[in-house]
Amino acid sequence: MILTQVYYSTPSAIFQHNQETIHTASTVMAANLIAPDSLKNGAIDLWGHVKVPRIDWAEFGTDSKSPWVTLDSSLKSGSNATIYPYNFTSWTGIALQNIRPDRKTYFTMDYDYVDLTCTLQSSTRNPVDILAHWTQSEINVEPFDHHEDWIAKVIAQNDTANAGSILFNRTVKAYGRHVPSPRPASSFFKFAYNGTSPEGKTNQTASHITYFLYGYRYNETSVPQVLQCLPAHIHLELQVQCQSYSQCEITRMRRKPATVTAQLVLEKKILPAPRCDLDYGGLVCLLLNTKTLEFFIDLWATVVSTPTQDNGTDPFVLYITALKNNGYETINAKDLSVRLTLAFNAYWQAILWQGQTVLTDAFDSSQSLSMSNTETREEPNTPIYRISIPWVVVLITATLALLALTTTNIVVSLMIISPDLLGYVSTLTRSSAAKSSIIPYHVETGTTLDGAERDRLLRDKIIRIEDMRPSADVGYIAIRLCEGKERLSFGEPRRLRKGRLYA
């Protein structure tokens, strides 16, 4: 057993706002959106990274350490936990490096994701009601394109069209060009938090401090639907197994309490407090009302924009809502939660990990600055064979039979003293122009047949081949057909021998 280090994309990395952030996030989101369902919902992402299954951890409590959940090859849980229909937490997997291709590798690593649970809000039946609900004293919604006093004026006029334009008509910048909204089917994605009411209501728990609002509509005149999506920060410990020259897979997983949570940050139990600026921050900054979250939500509109379809239906809206017609009321909030979770985690992971997201060489030994390391247990890839008794018996029997035949062939070859003759012997018995009338050494029938056919014709005949000049330096071969041990009638013929010259 060998102990080495493996590097993996760490969830404790820091967001950094730069050109690579925008381009990588846009590339990852667009590539996954147009990918076929077999890849989009498969266990391996487009770049060969292993994905993490999405499990309903509520069965094991909220923040306590859960038991290990064993996964088989079909990603079905070995416990009572339920895997969601879409199976995974994100479109993207975890990039790995320094994997030895010729060994089996086992290791554990940490993983964080945000699980979104969305519910339809009954109070938001039209844009005016949506804005009126959001501008109450206890609810703060960002980002808005206009000041709240101007919004209040629109609401007072009961202008549904203008109120709708505030929600949906946003101009985003994608790759240097401005893309206007709305489109025939459009959506918005904002974050909100509950402030302190005049009655002195305190802030809610960490999972409810910041939540998201996702809205969509089929066209400019249809009734918009708004869902409130509560985020839950899930921290996991994963056990990973990598076969030699093969893909890695997650074999077991369990939930663990996160070391840095939004609640601990608010209670000032994390010192120094995490830095959450516009262009700098960690995952916990997305669960609080911070500049990092504001940048994150603003950039979402740019990343999911499609400049080539100025008047077409937004494909991200179609995917997240599974929209096929204008029947928004038929959309299942749980299915939308699953799809929005997939897209949401793929989005922030692409921003967080940047170039690691599209890294394809798991055997590279170099370590990126935003990667963590973990100790691995490696086993040499030594083949192990199991004996098969029937196969061994057949093998030994066949080997002994071949050995016996080989020994017999050697003995017989040593006993043969006559020279080898090329071709069929029966061919030598053909009739010739100078045939003798005294010595019948030929056969009158079958003269024109070839060797094999003539051999079948003479299969019952005995052919004698002898040396008629045994005392001479060069022997003379005579051939005749005879019965039994009959010899030639003249001279003293002898058998042919190896090494003698014959005419």
Per-position DSSP letters for 415-481, written without gaps between them: H--SPP--S-GGGGG---TT--SSS--S-SS-TTS-HHHHHHHTTT-EEEEEES-TTSSSB-EEEEE
In the DSSP assignment, the letter for residue 275 is P
Tell whether the model's pLDDT for residue 82 goes beyond 90.
Answer: no
- 64: its two tokens: 């306590």
DSSP codes of every residue in 473-491: SSB-EEEEEESTT---SSS
Nearest residue to 221 via CA among 313, 126, 331: 126
Banded model confidence at residue 329, pLDDT cuts 50, 70, 90: low
Tell whether the model's pLDDT for residue 406 goes beyond 90.
Answer: yes
Nearest residue to 224 via CA among 158, 126, 322: 126
Model pLDDT, residue 113: 93
Model pLDDT, residue 7: 84
> Which of the given ranges, 47-51, 58-62, 84-88, has the highest pLDDT on average?
47-51
Top-confidence residue, 142 or 289: 289
Model pLDDT, residue 49: 87
Tell whether the model's pLDDT for residue 328 goes beyond 90.
Answer: no
- Kindly report, residue by residue over 292-313, the tens digit of the pLDDT: 888 888 888 777 766 544 455 6
140-169: average pLDDT = 61
Q: DSSP strand E in 415-474: where?
A: 462-467
Nearest residue to 252 via CA among 389, 67, 82, 408: 67
Banded model confidence at residue 206, pLDDT cuts 50, 70, 90: very low
460-486: average pLDDT = 76
Tell whether the model's pLDDT for residue 32 goes beyond 70.
Answer: yes
3-state secondary structure 50-70: ECCEEECHHHHCCCCCCCCEE
Model pLDDT, residue 162: 60
Tell whether the model's pLDDT for residue 94 goes beyond 80.
Answer: yes
Nearest residue to 115 via CA among 66, 63, 53, 54: 54
Does residue 418 contact residue 495 with C-beta atoms inside 8 Å?
A: yes
Model pLDDT, residue 484: 58
The 8 Å CB, 24+ separation contacts for 150-158 are 155/128, 155/131, 158/128
Cα–Cα distance measured from residue 450 to residue 139, given in angstroms and rounded to the nearest whole number: 107
Model pLDDT, residue 392: 94
Banded model confidence at residue 258, pLDDT cuts 50, 70, 90: confident
Model pLDDT, residue 123: 54
Does residue 84 contact residue 368 with C-beta atoms inside 8 Å?
A: no
Model pLDDT, residue 361: 64
Model pLDDT, residue 389: 93
Q: DSSP strand E in 210-247: where?
A: 211-217, 225-242
Does residue 117 contact residue 337 with C-beta atoms inside 8 Å?
A: yes
Work out the mean pLDDT of the chain and round it to a whole number. 74
Tell whether the model's pLDDT for residue 437 goes beyond 50.
Answer: no
Model pLDDT, residue 395: 95
Tell whether the model's pLDDT for residue 177 goes beyond 60.
Answer: no
- 83: its two tokens: 């895997």
261-289: average pLDDT = 81
The interaxial angle of helices 291-303 and 333-353, nearest 10 deg, is: 100
Top-confidence residue, 20 or 227: 227
Cα–Cα distance measured from residue 203 to residue 262, given in angstroms and rounded to the nearest whole number: 12
405-429: average pLDDT = 77
Model pLDDT, residue 172: 57
Q: Which of 3-7, 50-54, 59-63, 251-255 has the lowest mean pLDDT?
A: 59-63
Nearest residue to 113 via CA among 370, 338, 267: 338
Q: How close are the terminal C-alpha atoms of the chain, in Å?
A: 76
State the amino acid at position 51 in one-letter form. K
Banded model confidence at residue 457, pLDDT cuts 50, 70, 90: confident
Banded model confidence at residue 79, pLDDT cuts 50, 70, 90: very low
Model pLDDT, residue 201: 36
Model pLDDT, residue 403: 97
**In terms of pTM, does the model score above 0.75?**
no
Total Cβ atoms within 10 A of residue 5: 13
Q: What percent of the chain has pLDDT over 90?
A: 10
Cα–Cα distance measured from residue 295 to residue 285, given in angstroms and rounded to the nearest whole number: 11
- If phi > 0 it is left, if psi is from -120 to 50 it is alpha, else beta; for residue 214 that is beta
- 32: its two tokens: 């996954």
Cα–Cα distance measured from residue 405 to residue 326, given in angstroms and rounded to the nearest whole number: 83
Cα–Cα distance measured from residue 230 to residue 204, given in angstroms and rounded to the nearest whole number: 12
Does residue 451 contact residue 423 with C-beta atoms inside 8 Å?
A: yes
Residue found under tokens 């409810």: 208
* Torsions phi, psi for 358 (to 5 deg): -105, 20
Banded model confidence at residue 400, pLDDT cuts 50, 70, 90: very high
Does residue 89 contact residue 52 with C-beta atoms inside 8 Å?
A: yes
Model pLDDT, residue 155: 58
Banded model confidence at residue 362, pLDDT cuts 50, 70, 90: low
318 CB contacts (<8 Å, ≥6 apart)?
A: 185
Model pLDDT, residue 202: 39
Banded model confidence at residue 154, pLDDT cuts 50, 70, 90: low
3-state secondary structure of 309: coil
Top-confidence residue, 182 or 464: 464
Cα–Cα distance measured from residue 160 to residue 171, given in angstroms and rounded to the nearest whole number: 20
Banded model confidence at residue 204, pLDDT cuts 50, 70, 90: very low
Q: DSSP strand E in 71-124: where?
A: 83-88, 96-97, 103-120
Cα atoms found within 13 Å of the Cα of residue 361, Cβ hemisphere only: 6
- 317: its two tokens: 């809206």
Top-confidence residue, 24 or 74: 24
Q: Which helix (H) or strand (E) holds 130?
A: helix 127-134
3-state secondary structure 349-413: HHHHHHHHHHCCCCCCCCCCCCEEEEEEEEEECCCCCCCCHHHHHHHHHHHHHHHHHHHHHHHHH
Q: C-alpha 206: how far from its chain's center? A: 35
380-405: average pLDDT = 90
Does residue 94 contact residue 108 with C-beta atoms inside 8 Å?
A: no
Q: Bridge-partner residues for 371, per DSSP? A: 9
Tell whether the model's pLDDT for residue 479 goes beyond 70.
Answer: yes
